[in-house]
């Protein structure tokens, strides 16, 4: 059986801070009508008690009980409103600390001011810091659920599976911060268009978008140019994951190999990243054009850097089992599918405790393969099919963020023309 799906705003953040503040304020307003109802009952009681004929005929016990119950509801509403607003403050502290860390890591100014703001918030309410600590503890406890309970080969495998998580946490490279740029240069790429089609429409569901990965076995990239009735265009990019894990293939013709994995994870420009830029250019995408990216595994790192540093207007990113998480602004819808028992995803260190992307962005997590079995040796939770199942669960979810994703994808379905090209890339000096 598959694990239960959880949808959060990201990291330790369940709901966007502004949304939860608005919700807390609405709860607090319930106290006013409860107080008005209680006051009306008290006035009625006063009239009854002061009127001898009524006092003898009307029992006041029920009214007094009702007044007490309504007053209790008023107190509950006030308390719930206060606690909800306090939770929003706890989320904000987590966000501010993550933002300060990002600024420090990229050498940008402003981190001391953010941390000073955190200190003021914590000093203003002693209840806040324990809530923040609890949020972080829960996130740390749950981010790798199932990773150590796979098929254990007489106890030998769980420590190996956990090495990815420990590496991600220790290296702190699992989060792509704003301002980050890949370093170095990649090998030149030979790009070949191997398949061209004209789909009737763009993708309309998350699973549907993931099913648009290249169909040609040799292709690693598919690019779709979507044209809309008003003449505007967008590009959707679909990127397969690592195509060969064999050590002897490192640096060979296949760009989606372990050499590129190591380069991207360590912050270096890879042949696979260059191949995607070349494919976008070949499909007609230019600087400033709106694009969306759907990516698996290694290509999740490519998608992260496209969103953070490329010249394109990356308005949508969906990753599955990515070893890295990008920290994006409010203008990018970021959807991350993560199996907590996926050792490749664990290289992100669980990502950032703060949220990333637009208010409708989210991380959908579950245990991808709860049953210990031999297939865990082949990284079963990281495979494409379990992530397709997770995508279906998102499509079927009634979470407001999943609904917002459906609405966005629905706009892609309004395209009046779609030109799709699948590309095969090889390293030029290794071309066969």
In this predicted model, what pLDDT tens digit does every residue of 52-85 receive, in sequence order? 566 556 666 777 788 888 888 888 888 888 888 8
Select the highest-mean-pLDDT range: 12-26, 74-88, 232-246, 355-369.
232-246
Percent of the chain with pLDDT over 90: 51
pLDDT digits (tens, 9 = 90+) for 112-141: 898 999 999 999 999 999 888 888 777 766
By percentage, how much of the chain surpasses pLDDT 70? 85
- Picking from 19-23, 32-36, 160-164, 294-298, which range would have the lowest pLDDT averaged per residue? 160-164
**pLDDT(303) > 70:** yes
Cα 406 → chain centroid = 15
CB 168 within 8 A of CB 350: yes
Q: What pLDDT, in 10s, does the model give residues 144-172? A: 665 555 444 444 444 444 444 444 444 46
Predicted pLDDT at 154:
44
Model pLDDT, residue 182: 96
Give the CA count within 13 Å in the CB-facing half-sphere of 192: 12
Whether 241 has a pLDDT exceeding 70, the answer reads yes
Residue 119, pLDDT score: 92
* Residue pLDDT, tens place only, 207-234: 999 999 999 999 999 999 999 999 999 9
| Predicted pLDDT at 225 | 98
Highest mean pLDDT among 73-82, 168-177, 295-304: 295-304
Tell me the CA distances in angstroms from 422 to 192, 213, 237, 271, 321, one per residue in order: 9, 9, 10, 17, 22
CA atoms of 9 and 378, how far apart (whole Å) = 30
User: Can you list the pairs that 119-122 forms with residues at least 24 positions away whose Cβ atoms lie under 8 Å?
Assistant: 121/89, 121/92, 121/93, 122/93
Question: Where do the structural domains in the chain lie, given as residue ranges?
Answer: 17-141, 144-430
As a whole number of Å, the end-to-end CA separation of the chain is 44
Using CB atoms within 10 Å of the CB of residue 317, give its burial: 0 to 12 exposed, 13 to 18 middle, 19+ buried: buried
43 pLDDT band, cuts 50/70/90, is: confident
pLDDT at 1 over 50: no
Q: How far, CA to CA in Å, does 265 sit from each of 259, 299, 303?
A: 10, 11, 13
Q: How confident is the model at residue 22 (pLDDT cuts 50, 70, 90)?
A: confident
Mean pLDDT of the chain: 85
| pLDDT at site 172 | 61
CA 232 to CA 230: how far, in whole Å?
6
Q: What is the pTM of this model?
A: 0.77
pLDDT of 20: 78
- Pair of tokens at residue 426: 């090889």
| Inter-residue contact 405 to 167 (CB < 8 Å) | no
Whether 106 has a pLDDT exceeding 80, the answer reads: no
CA 418 to CA 402: how far, in whole Å? 25
Give 390-412 pLDDT, tens digit per residue: 999 999 999 999 999 999 999 99
189-196 mean pLDDT:
97
> What pLDDT, on the 0 to 100 scale, is given for residue 425?
98
pLDDT at 261 over 70: yes
HEC per residue, the chain: CCCCCEEECECCECCCHHHHHHHHHHHHHCHHHHHHHHHHHHHHHHHHHHCHHHHHHCCCHHHHHHHHHHHHHHHHHHHHHHHHHHHHHHHHHHHHHHHHHHHHHHCCCCHHHHHHHHHHHHHHCCCHHHHHHHHHHHHHHHCCCCCCCCCCCCCCHHHHHHHHHHHHHHHCCCEECCCCCCECCCCCEEEEEEEEECCCCCCCCHHHHHCCCCCCCCCCEEEEEEECCCCCEEEEEEECCCCCCCHHHCCCCCCCCHHHHHHHHCCECCHHHHHHHHHHHHCCCCCCCEEEEEEECHHHHHHHHHHHHCCCEEEEEEEECCCCEECCCCCCEEEEEEECCCHHHHCCCCCCCCCCCCCCCEEEEECCCCCCCHHHHHCHHHCHHHHHHHHHHHHHCCCHHHHHHHHHHHHHCCCCEEEEEEEEEEEHHHCC
The residue ranking higher by pLDDT, 195 or 87, is 195
Report whether 20 contacts 92 (CB < 8 A).
Answer: no
């Amino acid at each position: 059986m598959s694990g239960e799906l959880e949808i959060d705003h990201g990291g330790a953040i369940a709901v966007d801070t502004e949304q939860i503040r608005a919700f807390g304020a609405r709860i607090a307003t319930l106290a006013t009508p409860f107080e008005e109802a209680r006051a009306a009952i008290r006035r009625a009681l006063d009239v009854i008690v002061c009127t001898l004929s009524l006092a003898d005929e009307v029992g006041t016990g029920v009214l007094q009980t009702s007044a007490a119950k309504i007053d209790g509801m008023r107190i509950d509403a006030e308390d719930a409103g206060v606690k909800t607003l306090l939770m929003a403050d706890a989320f904000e502290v987590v966000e501010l600390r993550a933002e300060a860390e990002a600024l420090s890591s990229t050498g940008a100014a402003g981190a001391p001011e953010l941390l000073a703001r955190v200190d003021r918030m914590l000093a203003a309410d002693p209840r806040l810091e324990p809530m923040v600590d609890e949020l972080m503890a829960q996130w740390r406890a749950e981010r790798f659920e199932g990773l150590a309970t796979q098929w254990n080969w007489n106890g030998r495998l769980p420590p190996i599976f956990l090495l990815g998580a420990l590496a991600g946490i220790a290296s702190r490279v699992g989060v792509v911060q704003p301002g980050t740029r890949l370093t170095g240069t990649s090998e030149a790429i030979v790009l070949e268009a191997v398949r061209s089609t004209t789909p009737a429409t763009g993708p309309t569901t998350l699973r549907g978008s993931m099913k648009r990965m290249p169909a040609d076995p040799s292709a690693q990239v598919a690019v779709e140019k979507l044209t809309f009735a008003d003449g505007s265009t967008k590009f959707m990019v679909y990127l397969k994951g690592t195509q060969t894990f064999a050590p002897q293939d490192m640096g060979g013709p296949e760009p989606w190999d372990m050499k590129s994995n190591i380069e991207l994870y360590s912050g270096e420009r890879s042949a696979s990243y260059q191949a995607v830029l070349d494919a976008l250019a070949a499909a007609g995408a230019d600087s400033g054009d709106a694009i969306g990216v759907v990516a698996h595994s290694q290509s999740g790192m490519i998608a992260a850097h496209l969103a953070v540093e490329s010249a394109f207007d990356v308005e949508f990113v969906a990753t599955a089992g990515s070893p890295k998480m990008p920290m994006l602004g409010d203008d990018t819808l970021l959807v991350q599918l993560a199996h907590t028992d996926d050792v490749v995803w664990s290289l992100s260190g669980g990502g950032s405790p703060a949220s990333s992307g637009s208010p409708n962005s989210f991380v959908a997590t579950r245990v991808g393969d709860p049953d210990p079995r031999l297939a865990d040796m082949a990284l079963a939770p990281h495979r494409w099919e379990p992530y397709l199942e997770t995508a279906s669960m998102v499509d079927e979810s009634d979470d407001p963020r999943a609904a917002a994703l459906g609405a966005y994808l629905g706009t892609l379905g309004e395209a009046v023309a779609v030109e799709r090209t699948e590309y095969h890339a090889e390293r030029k000096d290794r071309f066969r």
